[in-house]
Chains A and B, each alone.
Chain A
């Protein structure tokens, strides 16, 4: 089956700036896809090209098997929920939601029924006659969502859908959005700079940097098997250690840390003496006073932050490399003190060997 949405070598420049650079992307029908990137990474330009507001310099955009070149935003089976919602301030909630339907020629009872249905869907029954400025931020967000879904788009683009909400509301809304998407089966594409939001929402995440798609994968794969340092660093917390390849046997490599030797798992093939970077997530490391078998590095505690559930350590290895450790405050983990020497141990499968 052909993918529902296909971007083929899509590029777009603004003057000398290459905003989107040769992006290939395929999204399945009914998927909740997240485009994640810092500001200026090109994610908004990509979104605007899907909606039709920007024309790609080269490459093609296909939606449901149709080439979208030359199709006006008004005619695309795509709708956007805009950042800051872009509600029409002079129209009531019902007229905002009905705007797209009226353009389609829906009127009378059919229009009212559909608007009522949408109001019910976003739990805003009885708010139809209010003006947008009489609503709270969360309610406005739901009006924007209902308005964007009114025409039953094949693809709904959500531009930073939760950025304008406060933290508490954001968490609830995240789950609402996911369940709504599952219920409707519409393909959603969320654009966000918030990695946590992307992890919670998405079936798959595409991480963008400097106009290019760096990695597209499920959240877990992205977190545990990042393709390079950028991805590892962008998602969650991580420590990087410099090392040299000592030997490799299948996917087991021995790494020289300039003092100790650790073993790690790697899918790539290396030569002896290759310089690599080892990435380790702070929650995958155990810190104790006793030396253990397996990967174990002698470290000195530099800094401690107690957060209640866990203690965050920053420790230095004998080679002076910094390592972050998040340790649960459970009874078997005896806390270490400032400047105390301990052993940081971790399993080979929890290391990520990166070349870039």
Chain B
């Protein structure tokens, strides 16, 4: 039985979600517009999707974005898991508060600040060590990983906090030692949250514009950078089409991630 929700709340909900999603839906619809003008409907067509396939610049940008997002997500997840383990397993270690602040600051830090400070760091590093030489995809990956790992840590920590430590004790009691315990027991049990963390970090990296524009170099324009620079010359339905594809990809990641998280909870 569901509890009856009062009508005003239902209408408020519809209004709220409407404001959020109607523009997106409209944009998706207009990506199938036959007209060259974005705001005039002239019949259904998939020609903008076809023209995307011939747009080498955009396709190259998609490739770069995917490359960056996969690496950034992987690095984020690796360090995110380590941070989460430190917080949930090592008790009150020295510097816990400092690490906690450092690990959560990027969550609330304005992206402009993150982007600028990253840029300054890379320039300084180049001056002192000669690496990274100039800015390119690798600097974007590093920058994305630095804030992505904080999000990954939050997701994995949520799962580790409700982890029954007796299960690890049981493995040890039965003759396993670290890292065997971690690989055979802990990691498989937190795997859904690790994958969810990866998907979240992937999404964050894939659609980041601000930080990427600070730390990107010539020839390393990711998809959001390309789209944004195109929009300044006027919106074409092609942009709608590429945006629709991005939304679909991101939605798959987000929905997949939350499904994995909730599936895990049911089993415990």
* B89-123 interface (Cβ within 8 A of A): none
Is A46 an interface residue, CB under 8 A from the partner?
no
* B5 within 8 Å of A (CB atoms): no
Q: Are A103 and B175 in contact (CB under 8 A)?
A: yes
- Does B231 belong to the interface (CB within 8 Å)? no
Which of A77-85, A185-193, A230-238 faces chain B? A77-85
Q: Is the CB of A74 within 8 A of B177?
A: yes
Q: Considering the chains assembled together, what is the distance between the CA atoms of A92 and B129 in angstroms?
A: 52
Complex contacts, A78 vs chain B, CB 8 Å:
173
A6-64 residues with Cβ-Cβ distance < 8 A to B are 51, 53
B166–A84 touching, CB < 8 Å: yes
Q: Given A53-B169, A99-B171, does the pair A88, B185 have CB atoms closer than 8 Å?
A: yes
The residue of chain A having its C-beta at the shortest distance from the C-beta of B167 within the complex is A86
Instruction: Indicate whether A88 sits within 8 Å of B173 (C-beta atoms), given known contacts A82-B166, A83-B166.
Output: no
Q: Which A residues lie within 8 Å of B180 (CB)?
A: 103
Total of A-B residue pairs, C-beta within 8 Å: 65
- A48: nearest residue on chain B (CB-CB)? B169
The answer to whether B173 touches A80 (Cβ under 8 A) is yes
B232: Cβ under 8 A from any A Cβ: no
| Size band of the interface chain B makes with A | 20 to 34
Residues of B within 8 A of A148 (CB): 173
Contact with B along A340-353 (1 / 0, CB 8 A): 00000000000000
With a 10 A CB-CB cut-off, give which of B173, B175, B184, B191 has the most chain A CB atoms: B173
CB of A138 closer than 8 Å to a CB of B: no
**CB–CB A99/B166 < 8 A:** no
Please name the residue on chain A nearest to B169 by beta carbon.
Answer: A53
Report whether B166 and A79 are in contact in the complex, using a CB–CB cutoff of 8 Å.
no
Closest residue of B by beta carbon distance from A131: B267
Complex Cα gap A147–B167 (Å):
13
Interface residue ranges of A95-127 to B (CB < 8 Å): 99-100, 103-104
Give the interface centre of A51, A100, A148 by most chain B CB atoms within 10 Å: A100
Q: Are B176 and A74 in touch, CB under 8 angstroms?
A: yes
Q: Are B267 and A89 neighbours in the complex by a CB distance under 8 Å?
A: yes
Q: Which residues of B contact A86 (CB under 8 A)?
A: 164, 166-167, 169-170
Set of chain A residues within 8 Å of B142, measured between Cβ atoms:
none
- What 1/0 flags go to B147-181 for Cβ under 8 Å of A? 00000000000000000101101111111110010
Taking CB atoms and an 8 Å cut-off, the chain B residues in 236-268 that contact chain A are 267-268
Q: Chain B CB within 10 Å — which of A72, A83, A86, A147 has the most?
A: A86
- Inter-chain contact B172/A73, CB cutoff 8 Å: yes
Shortest Cβ gap from B14 to chain A (Å): 38
Q: Which residues of B contact A74 (CB under 8 A)?
A: 172-177
Give Cα A74 to B170, complex, Å: 10
Residues in A with CB closer than 8 Å to B173 are 51, 53, 73-74, 78-80, 148
Residues of B within 8 A of A133 (CB): 267
Give the Cβ gap from B163 to chain A, nearest Cβ, in Å: 11
Contact of B176 among A53, A103, A147 (CB under 8 A): A103
Known: A53-B169, A80-B170, A133-B267. A89 touches B175 (CB 8 A): no
User: Quick check: A104 and B175 within 8 Å, CB to CB?
Assistant: yes
Q: Are A90 and B188 in contact (CB under 8 A)?
A: yes
A78 to B170, CA, bound (A): 12
Question: Are A88's CB and B177's CB within 8 A?
Answer: no
Across the interface, A88 reaches (CB within 8 A) one of B170, B175, B191, B268, namely: B170
Among B175, B189, B267, B268, max chain A CB count under 10 A is at B175
In angstroms, Cα B222 to Cα A247, docked, is 100
In the assembled complex, A151 has its CB within 8 A of some CB on chain B: yes
Q: How far is the CB of B33 from chain A (nearest CB, A)?
A: 48
User: What distance in Å separates the Cβ of A70 from its nearest Cβ neighbour in chain B?
Assistant: 15
- When distances are taken between beta carbons in the complex, the residues of chain A under 8 Å from B268 are 89
> A103 near B267 (CB under 8 angstroms)?
no
Task: Evaluate whether A89 and B189 lie within 8 angstroms (CB atoms) in the complex, with A53-B169, A82-B166 already known.
Answer: yes
Q: Are B172 and A88 in contact (CB under 8 A)?
A: no
Assembly CA distance A43 to B230 (angstroms): 71
- Interface positions, chain B 175-211, Cβ under 8 Å from A, are 175-177, 180, 184-185, 188-189, 191
* A90 close to B189 (CB less than 8 A): yes
Residue of A nearest to B168 (CB): A86
A18 to chain B, nearest CB (A): 21
A74 to B166 Cα, complex, angstroms: 14
Whether the pair A82, B170 counts as a contact (CB closer than 8 A) is: yes
**In the assembled complex, how far is the CB of residue A318 from the closest CB belonging to chain B, in whole angstroms?**
55
Q: With the chains together, A42 CA to B234 CA distance in Å?
A: 74
Residues of A within 8 A of B167 (CB): 86-89
Give the Cβ gap from A319 to chain B, nearest Cβ, in Å: 51
Identity of the chain A residue whose Cβ is nearest the Cβ of B180 in the assembled complex:
A103
Q: Contacts A80-B170, A84-B164 given; 16 further ones with Cβ under 8 A?
A: A53-B172, A73-B172, A74-B174, A74-B176, A74-B177, A75-B175, A78-B173, A79-B174, A88-B170, A88-B189, A89-B268, A99-B171, A103-B176, A147-B174, A150-B174, A151-B174
Q: List 8 A-B contacts (CB under 8 A).
A: A75-B175, A79-B173, A80-B173, A84-B164, A87-B167, A89-B167, A90-B188, A103-B176
Top 9 A-B pairs ranked by shortest CB distance?
A: A100-B174, A103-B175, A86-B166, A86-B170, A90-B188, A74-B175, A86-B167, A73-B172, A82-B166
